[in-house]
């Protein structure tokens, strides 16, 4: 059966490089899983693994297959309803139209546009020169193709991806102007935040360095709670979290980023942060967060161990077949517009 993208599309990709952490879980995965559980009658939900994006920076290629499969298990364990027909789960490279459209979009993208991307600039500052690939430079164009092939309107991404989303809108409008209506332009970041509730723009921060987001590129790992951490390991990291020397618990990203981060984590995991506001003892808040995170990890890890790999494989085969049809339809429109097809 041909998948027809009649309903608006909500789409996001979650990279499979290293272990996922609760920043990825709370910030990126949970919003789309919630949508898939509560709004699937009104929307198509696309959650894919951007495997081609995985080696824009150097990785261990021997582990990529495992990492992809593990990501998919995490989706299932987080409660993504795999049995629902309007939830599509796929691997980017299994839909070759992503690569094809990227090339076409590349030819309408300015060098300067890509050079200005702050994520690119941050990454090249961290990497040695010979490890900066053209793929890394090109990363946002592939991301635009990921979104535009499916006409996605809503794209829940972290704050660090906002610029890539803006580029996606720009390139879509540019081609629509030149060739007529080829693409659905995704909503701007502000509207995305409205749609997903304002927490969506939030980012979970590194526990040791709350000025930075929790990120797998952070060296020590002490400020990161991995989904594979034991409750005891996570508890230690939380009890050692960097806070501030002010005297009471308050929400304030500016002056109290560490404490505010803990309040956010507690709230997103279903705890009650408000009872700690105004308290003088940070230790009580930390203890509550550690307990809540510990319970969460225990439940999550049990669910992860119970995931049925066969169910995932069947879902992938189904979704990838349907997504190839949708993506190829859109690609053909573009190929015709640019003169590659009669």
Name the residue nearer to ligand TRP (CB basis): 99 or 274.
99
Stretch that binds ligand TRP, among 140-148, 193-201, 227-235, 326-334 (CB under 6 A): 140-148
Residue 53 as a binder of ligand TRP (CB under 6 A): the answer is yes
Stretch that binds ligand TRP, among 8-16, 60-68, 187-195, 238-246 (CB under 6 A): 8-16
Query: How near is the Cβ of 46 to ligand TRP at its closest, in Å?
Result: 9
Report whether 88 contacts 44 (CB < 8 A). yes
**Residues 3, 33, 77, 143: which binds ligand TRP (CB under 6 A)?**
143
Fill in the per-residue mask, 86 to 125: x = in contact with ligand TRP (CB under 6 A), - = not in contact.
----------------------------------------
Stretch that binds ligand TRP, among 6-14, 71-79, 106-114, 321-329 (CB under 6 A): 6-14
Query: How near is the Cβ of 47 to ligand TRP at its closest, in Å?
Result: 10
Residue 204 as a binder of ligand TRP (CB under 6 A): the answer is no
Name the residue nearer to ligand TRP (CB basis): 143 or 290.
143
Query: How near is the Cβ of 335 to ligand TRP at its closest, in Å?
Result: 21
**Residues 13, 151, 223, 273: which binds ligand TRP (CB under 6 A)?**
13
Residue 147 as a binder of ligand TRP (CB under 6 A): the answer is yes
Residues from 150 through 169 that contact ligand TRP (CB under 6 A)? 155, 157, 161
CB neighbour list of residue 116: distance below 8 Å, 6 or more residues apart: none
Residue 74 as a binder of ligand TRP (CB under 6 A): the answer is no
d(CA 96, CA 330): 12
The CA–CA distances, whole Å, from 117 to 50, 107, 175, 204, 246 equal 19, 17, 20, 22, 36
Residue 15 as a binder of ligand TRP (CB under 6 A): the answer is yes
* Residues touching ligand TRP, count (CB under 6 A): 12
Name the residue nearer to ligand TRP (CB basis): 55 or 244.
55
Report whether 178 contacts 224 (CB < 8 A). no
The 3 state secondary structure assigned to the chain is CCCCCCCCEEEEECCCCCCCEHHHHHHHHHHHHHHHHHCCCCCEEEEEECHHHHHCCCCCHHHHHHHHHHHHHHHHHCCCCCCCCCEEEEEHHHCCHHHHHHHHHHCCCCHHHHHCCHHHHHHHHHCCHHHCCHHHHHHHHHHHHHHHCCCCCECCCCHHHHHHHHHHHHHHHHHHHHHCCCCCCCCCHHHHHHHHCHHHHCCCECCCCCCCECCCCCCCCCCCCECCCCHHHHHHHHHCCCCCCCCCCCCCCCCCHHHHHHHHHHHHCCCCHHHHCCCCCHHHHHHHHHHHHHHHHHHHHHHHHCCCHHHHHHHHHHHHHHHHHHHHHHHHHHHHHHCCCC
Query: How near is the Cβ of 253 to ligand TRP at its closest, in Å?
Result: 21
**Residues 100, 146, 187, 320: which binds ligand TRP (CB under 6 A)?**
146
Residue 50 as a binder of ligand TRP (CB under 6 A): the answer is yes
Name the residue nearer to ligand TRP (CB basis): 188 or 283.
188
Residue 186 as a binder of ligand TRP (CB under 6 A): the answer is no
Sites of contact with ligand TRP (CB under 6 A) = 11-13, 15, 50, 53, 143, 146-147, 155, 157, 161
């Amino acid at each position: 059966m041909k998948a027809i993208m009649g309903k608006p599309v909500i789409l996001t990709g979650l990279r499979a490089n290293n272990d996922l952490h609760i920043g990825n879980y709370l910030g990126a995965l949970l919003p789309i899983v919630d949508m898939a559980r509560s709004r699937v009658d009104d929307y198509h939900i696309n959650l894919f693994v951007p495997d081609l994006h995985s080696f824009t920076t150097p990785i261990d290629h021997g582990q990529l297959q495992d990492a992809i499969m593990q990501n998919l298990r995490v989706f299932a364990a987080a409660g993504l309803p795999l049995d629902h027909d309007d939830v599509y789960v796929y691997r980017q490279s299994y839909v070759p139209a992503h690569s094809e459209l990227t090339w076409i979009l590349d030819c309408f993208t300015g060098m300067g546009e890509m050079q200005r991307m702050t994520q690119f600039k941050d990454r090249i500052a961290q990497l040695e020169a010979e490890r900066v690939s053209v793929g890394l430079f090109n990363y946002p164009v592939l991301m635009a193709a990921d979104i535009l092939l499916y006409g996605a309107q809503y794209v829940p991404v972290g704050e660090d991806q906002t610029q890539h989303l803006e580029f996606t809108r720009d390139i879509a409008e540019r081609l629509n102007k030149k060739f007529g209506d080829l693409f659905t332009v995704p909503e701007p970041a502000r509207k995305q935040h409205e749609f997903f509730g304002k927490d969506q723009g939030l980012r979970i921060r590194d526990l040791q360095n709350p000025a930075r987001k929790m990120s797998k590129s952070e060296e020590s790992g002490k400020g990161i709670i991995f989904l594979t951490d034991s409750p005891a390991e996570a508890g230690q990291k939380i009890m050692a979290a960097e806070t501030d020397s002010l005297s009471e618990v308050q929400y304030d990203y500016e002056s109290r980023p560490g404490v505010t981060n803990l309040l956010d984590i507690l709230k997103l995991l279903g705890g009650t942060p408000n009872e700690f506001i105004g308290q003088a003892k940070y230790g009580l808040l930390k203890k509550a967060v550690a307990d809540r995170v510990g319970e969460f990890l225990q439940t999550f890890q049990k669910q992860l161990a119970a995931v049925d790999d066969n169910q995932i494989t069947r879902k992938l085969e189904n979704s990838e077949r349907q997504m190839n049809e949708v993506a190829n339809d859109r690609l053909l429109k573009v190929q015709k517009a640019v003169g590659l097809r009669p």
